[in-house]
Structure 1
Amino acid sequence: MEVGYSNTTSLGIAKRAGVSRGAQTHHYPEKIDLIVAATEDMFDGFAEGLAKLAAELRSGKVSLDEFLDLVWKRMLEGDWFYASLEIIVAARGDEELQRRLQPAIFSLHNRFESIWRSTFAPATGSNSDPVVIMNIVMNMCRGMAVQAVLRPDREFLNDMLKEMADLLQEKVAPIVK
């Protein structure tokens, strides 16, 4: 994350991890192998965290507004979002990286959609598909995170989250068990 994808080297990763180059190449022969494995691990961690938040929503421990706020915070915590953005931009110009990451992306989105199906139903009077609505929400959050790089206006971002929460409640309702 600190040096960006194009400046990342296997040797630099091995040094930072405190392992020998031989140990690193034994497990990950090429830079791309290491990047793909790290990305898969990062995606798994994010999906697991999202599943836990959804379980809290279903149990009634958090409200829909709180859930949205927690998803937003989870998206921005640590380097998850910006590291994934760096990888996505790199994959745009690297066909092999794109090909190798697509299964991880499809798996991540399948996990998200499973979470959405088990957590949301259409709100009263809505015939919207919760999977579509929550994909819109995730894309809006990613767009807000990109905007925050050059416009880090917390108040404005919080206003957008509040408006998004209001719109969300018109379309979906949590399945509280």
Structure 2
Amino acid sequence: MQPLRRTQAERRASTRARILACTAECLLERGYAATTVSAVQERAGLARGTVQHHFPTRAELLIAATTQVVDTRLEKFRREAELLQPGRDRLQSVVDLAWRDLNSPAFFTALDLWVAARTDTELRDQLVIEERRVFTEMRRLYLEVLGEPYASDPRAEVLVEFTIDLLTGLSMTAMLTGTLGEREAVLRRWKRALAVLIGQLPSEELLDGSPLPAALH
């Protein structure tokens, strides 16, 4: 029995998906500036006219690919959340989860897009929508990962926000100038600060450089 031939609509959808996947890969690996129509065409193994038939301009191509990049980041985030070790303090685990996301190629791609969007109105409008989506979903997952007793603690959501903001800044700084040791020291200090803020450690231990108690690992 011969396989069914795909319809023109199916072939068109498949080609479009291939172009967007290759654009997202190019953004992740090479950055915004190097993601040209030619680079995508070459990666996809398609004629330039085929790419431009689906996306007449580079701006349209990159705007559409932004959604693909966000989906990649969310999927990786969900997988990382599923791999968190049982038995660890969940608030401390959220710091590790957030850092892996905010120090990943997908996040650095988002940074590229943010910078480009400063002067590109079309890209900015689309990026605002997609960033709102990724932040909403990640905050939901963070609180889901926390579970009880944190989920019903009114302080938890604020501490998650603080964690995201602090680690975003750390990632942006460390991308150019930070060393591994410096980053790890900040993460340790923030984990200890969270333990103090949530009431697991007394405030006088905030500046203590010793490791966290085993119960908080």
Q: TM-score range by the shorter chain?
A: 0.7 to 0.9
* Distance in 2 between residues matched to 1:18 and 1:75, nearest whole Å: 32
Tell me the distance in 2 between the aligned counterparts of 1:157 and 1:14.
38
2:162 to 126, 136, 142: 136
Residues 1:76 and 2:103 are matched in the alignment: yes
Q: Given the alignment of the two structures, is residue 10 of structure 1 paired with residue 37 of structure 2, yes or no?
A: yes
CA shift at 1:85, angstroms? 0.6
Output one character per residue of 1:65-115: Cα deviation in whole Å (capped at 9) or x when no partner.
3442343234333x3222111100111111111112221111112211221
Tell me the residue number matched to 1:53. 80
Match of 1:147 among 156, 159, 173: 173
Which residue does the alignment assign to 1:34? 61
Distance across 1 between alignment mates of 2:198 and 2:138 = 18
| Cα RMSD, aligned residues only | 3.0
Written as runs of structure 1 = structure 2, the 5 A alignment for 1:80-159 is: 80-120=106-146, 123=150, 127-130=154-157, 132-159=158-185
Distance apart, 1:31 and its partner CA: 1.3
Task: Show CA shifts across 1:34-91 (max 9, x none).
Answer: 212322222112222222333444x7265443442343234333x3222111100111
Number of equivalent positions: 169
* TM-score, length-scaled by structure 2: 0.64
Structure number with greater Rg is: 2
Q: Which runs of 5+ in 1 are unaligned?
A: none
Pair 122,39 (structure 1): closer, same or farther in 2 beyond 3 Å: farther
What is the aligned-residue identity percentage? Answer: 24
What amino acid is the match of 1:38?
A: A
Q: Report 1 or 2 for greater relative contact order, CA contacts < 8 Å, sequence distance ≥ 6.
A: 1
**Runs in 1 of length 4+ with deviation above 4 angstroms?**
1-4, 121-124
Q: Give the TM-score normalised by structure 1.
A: 0.77
Instruction: Tell me if the contact between 1:122 and 1:129 (Cα under 8 Å) persists in the aligned partners.
Output: no
The residue aligned with 2:6 is none
Structure 2: which 5+ residue stretches go unaligned? 1-26, 201-217
